[in-house]
Amino acid sequence: MNADAIPVAIINPDAPADSLEAKQPYIDNGVERAGKEGYFSRDYMRKEWDRLWTRSWLIAGVTADLGKVGDYFLFNIGDESIIVTLTEDGVRAFYNVCSHRGSRLLSEERGNRKVIVCPFHSWSFNNDGSLRRITDEETFRPEVVAHRPGLMAVHCEVHAGIVFINMSEGEAPPLAEAIGLPEGYLEAYRIDRMKVVRHVRSEWGANWKVGVEAFYESYHLHAVHPETRGVMGDLNVQYDLYPNGASRMIVPLGQPSPRAADQSTVNDGLEAMLKDAGIDPTGFDGTAADVRRAIQQAKRERSDRLGLEYERFTDGQLSDSWATGIFPNVQIGCHPEAVFLMRFIPHETDPERFYYDTMTLMLPAEDPDYSPPAWMGLPEDTDVTGAVRPATEHYILEEDPQLGLVLSQDASLLPVVQQGMRSRGFAGQLWGEQEQRLRHFHVELERRLAAS
C-alpha cells in the first residue's frame, strides 16, 4: 500500500517539525506474517538470551532508588543477578557473584552496603567493585590472587533518571543511540526527581512478547476494556516509529471513543478526570468535547500555582498518555504527574511465562487533587508522597496482583492468547496499521537475532 493512502491520526497537525509531539514520517516495515515459533520454543528462548538480552541496553531500575552512596538494588533477569549501586564516582553495576567460588553475594532486593561481604567465605568487596579483603589470604599462593579479583563490572549508564545496563562482553553501543528517542523526550518528565510509590512484579501466563504486543497497541481497547470508551479516543491514536525499535503511541484522554454513541454527555469517567485535574465536575458546564481542553487549562493553572514548570510540555502532554516503547522490553506511560514504567521480563526457564514488572513513580507536589492517572491502578491507601520507598510486591501466577481493572483484564486475556497461538489453526500474526508498533518491534527483534 502506498504510505499516503494509509489512514493516520495526528494529535496536533500544527506541531512544529522539531516538536516532540510532531507526527513522525511513516516507516514501511512490510506486510509479512509473523512466525509463532518464538512464543513456545526453548531453542528460540536461548537464542534470545544469547543475542538479545545479553547484548542490549536494558532498564535495570531508577535513580530514585539510589539516594546516597552505598544504596543498591538488584536487577534479576534469566540466570543473572546484577548489583546496581551508587558509588563515590556515580552509579555502577556488577554481577552479583563472588569472584572466589561463585556464590551470590546479596539476596535482599535493595539496601545500603558500602562493603559487600560474601556469605560463603566472607571475602569482602568495596561497593566500587574493588577487592577489600581475602579471608586468610596468607593461605593462598600469591599467583592465584595477584590480580586482586574484584567484582566483574557490567556496562552501566544513567539517562533521564533511568538506569540502563548492558551485559555485552566488549564495547556496548552508545546508549543515547540505542534508546532511539529524540533528545529531551524522556528528560522532560523529570523522572530523576520522581519517587517510587508502588512496585509490583507479577507472573503472567504468556511469552514476554505477548505482553509487549498487548501494550503496544490500542486496537484491543474497545473489546477488552469497554469501560475506556467513555474517556479514551482509541481511534484517534497517533503512532510513531523511531530508530532501533523504539516507538510510541499518543492516546488522547478526556474524550469519548469515536466508537461511543454518546459524544456529548460528561460521563462518570470524564467527571473523574476533571476532578483529578482540580476541576469540580458539578460546576463544569461544557460537553464531553470540552473536557480534554479543560484538563489542559486546569493543569497549566496548577503548574503556575505550584511552580511545576509545565511550560516544557505541549498541551497534549498534559492530558494524553504518551505510551513510549524502548526496545526490547519496556513501555513507559508518560504523564506530567507520574510515569508508569513497565518491563516485560522473560521467565528463567519457561518461554510461556513472563514477569510483568511495573513501577509507578510520582513527581511530588503539594496539592490534594494531584494524583497519577486512574488507569495506573494504584490502591486507594497508597502513600503517594514518596516519603518511604515501598517494598516490591511479588505475585505468583495464580495470585491477583491488584493492578486495577484495566490491567487485570489484560492479565486474564494474555494466557488465552498464548493458548490460542499454539493451535494448528493459527498460522501467525496479521498486523494492521493500528498495530504498526508490533511490526516495528519484530523487525528489530529479528534483526538482532540474525546478528552473529
94 CB-contact burial (10 Å; exposed 0-12 / middle 13-18 / buried 19+): buried
Whether pTM exceeds 0.85: yes
Place of cell 568487596: 125
| Packed helices 268-276 and 288-306: angle between N→C axes, nearest 10 degrees | 10
When comparing pLDDT for 6 and 50, which is higher? 50
Query: For residues 209 and 345, what is the distance between their CA atoms, to the nearest angstrom?
Result: 9
The three cell numbers locating residue 175: 546508549
- Partnered with residue 202 across adjacent β-strands are 356, 395
Long-range CB contacts (within 8 A, 24+) of 257-266: 257/221, 257/222, 257/228, 257/229, 257/230, 257/232, 257/233, 258/233, 258/234, 259/222, 259/229, 259/234, 259/235, 260/229, 260/230, 262/288, 263/288, 263/289, 264/288, 264/289, 266/291
378/270 Cα distance (integer angstroms): 18
42 pLDDT band, cuts 50/70/90, is very high
Residue 126 bridge partners (DSSP): 115
Q: How confident is the model at residue 3 (pLDDT cuts 50, 70, 90)?
A: low
What letter does residue 370 receive in the DSSP assignment?
Answer: -
Cα–Cα dist 34/448, whole Å: 16
pLDDT in tens, 52-107: 999 999 999 999 999 999 999 999 999 999 999 999 999 999 999 999 999 999 99
Helical H segments across 307-435, by residue range: 315-319, 405-421
Mean pLDDT of 297-321: 96
* Mean pLDDT for the stretch of residues 182-190: 96
Question: Which helix (H) or strand (E) is 399 found in, with range?
Answer: none
| Region 383-407 average pLDDT | 93
| Average pLDDT of span 140-166 | 98
C-alpha dihedral (373, 375, 377, 382), degrees to nearest 10: 10
CA gap 5, 326 in Å, rounded: 28
**Count of C-beta atoms within a 10 Å radius of residue 160:** 18
Tell me, what's the pLDDT at 7?
65
Q: Does position 452 have pLDDT exceeding 80, yes or no? A: no
375 band by pLDDT with thresholds 50, 70 and 90: confident
Scanning the structure block, which residue is given the C-alpha cell 508502588?
198
Quick one: pLDDT at residue 180? 97
Poorest-pLDDT segment among 60-64, 78-82, 367-371, 421-425: 367-371
Amino acid at site 21: E
pLDDT band with cut points at 50, 70 and 90 for residue 1: very low
- The pLDDT of residue 6 is 62
Work out the average pLDDT over 329-347: 97
pLDDT band at 194; cut points 50, 70, 90: very high
Q: What is the pLDDT of residue 367?
A: 85
**Count of C-beta atoms within a 10 Å radius of residue 343:** 26
For residue 268 the three cell numbers come to 462518570
Q: Is the pLDDT of residue 416 over 60?
A: yes
- Average pLDDT over every residue of 119-126: 98
Q: Identify the H or E element spanning 351.
A: none
The region of weakest confidence among 57-66, 229-238, 371-380, 407-416 is 371-380
In terms of Cα–Cα distance, which of 162, 164, 167, 137 is closest to 152? 167
Confidence of residue 369 (pLDDT cuts 50, 70, 90): confident
Give residue 136's pLDDT band: very low, low, confident or very high (50, 70, 90).
very high
Helix, strand, coil shares, percent, the chain, to 5: 30, 25, 45
Say how far apart CA 159 and CA 179 lie, in whole Å: 10
Sign of the four-CA dihedral 119, 120, 121, 126 = negative
Give yes or no for residue 152 having a pLDDT over 90: yes
- Inform me whether the pLDDT recorded for 4 exceeds 60: no
Q: Residues 289, 307: contact at Cβ < 8 Å?
A: no
| pLDDT surpassing 60 at residue 374 | yes
Checking if the pLDDT of 29 tops 80, the result is yes
Arithmetic mean of pLDDT, 426-451: 96
- 231-272 pLDDT, tens per residue? 999 999 999 999 999 999 999 999 999 999 999 999 999 999
Closest CA to 214 of 13, 422, 411: 411
- Which residue, chain included where needed, has cell 548489583? 83
Q: How confident is the model at residue 366 (pLDDT cuts 50, 70, 90)?
A: confident
- Cα–Cα distance between 122 and 100 in angstroms, integer? 10
